[in-house]
Amino acid sequence: MRKIKAQLFISLDGVVEAPDQWHFPYFNEEMGAAVDATLGEADTLLFGRRTYDSFAGAWPEREAAGGEDAPFAKVLGDARKIVVSNSPLDFTWRNSEQLAGDLTTAVAALKDEPDTDAPVWISGSVSVVRRLVAAGLLDELNLLLHPIAVRTGMRLFEEGTPSVPLELLSAETFRTGVLNLFYSVAAAPGEGTYEDAKTYLPQH
């Protein structure tokens, strides 16, 4: 069964909106290698409409220009790209298609595709990630946690929704202070109880 994995840039205060406004000062070769090890290894990418438009507006031109990021741009271009949108779409970037039908039904079918165990990667696309988390269909979450409090903008997890237990799979610290964190989303809550915690709380 294929896994569904998501990668997001996130600030210290949980903001995932408009990373183009705060992410780039933290980009270095470590960050580039982290993205290449995930999206650069994917044969299938799942996008929300806005994230897809951002990628499609930049990467085909970079591939055509033949610069230093052209190999990564070619990998993205060669991958199957599935776009979630309620409106009809016309595509100019190769290997792009619109997701047909209900999101959760289609993603469940992707997970069950035969003859492959390569993960499907999601980049950004917060609304898609939220829906898949709620449906129990997201397997792993890769958060590139930036040491900055953005103070405004959409956060990954909305207030008033059920809690989401996560299990830390790995952690790496970049020289910029960015943390490269991998979580399993299908984890059970921790085993501790309030009675256990009380032994560590100050006594009055």
pLDDT at res. 99: 95
Kindly give the residue spans of alpha helices, DSSP state H, lying in the chain.
Answer: 29-36, 49-56, 59-65, 70-78, 103-111, 126-134, 194-198
In whole angstroms, give the CA distance from residue 78 to residue 41. Answer: 11
- pLDDT tens over the chain, length 204 residues: 899 999 999 999 999 999 999 999 999 999 999 999 999 989 999 999 999 999 999 999 999 999 999 999 999 999 999 999 999 999 999 999 999 999 999 999 999 987 777 899 999 999 999 999 999 999 999 999 999 999 999 999 988 888 999 999 999 999 999 999 999 996 555 555 556 555 556 665
| Integer Cα distance of 27 and 32 in angstroms | 7
pLDDT for position 174 = 98
- Residue pair 45/81 in contact by the 8 Å Cβ criterion: yes
What pLDDT is stored for residue 195 in this prediction? 63
Amino acid type, 132? L
Measured distance CA(193)–CA(160) in Å, rounded = 23
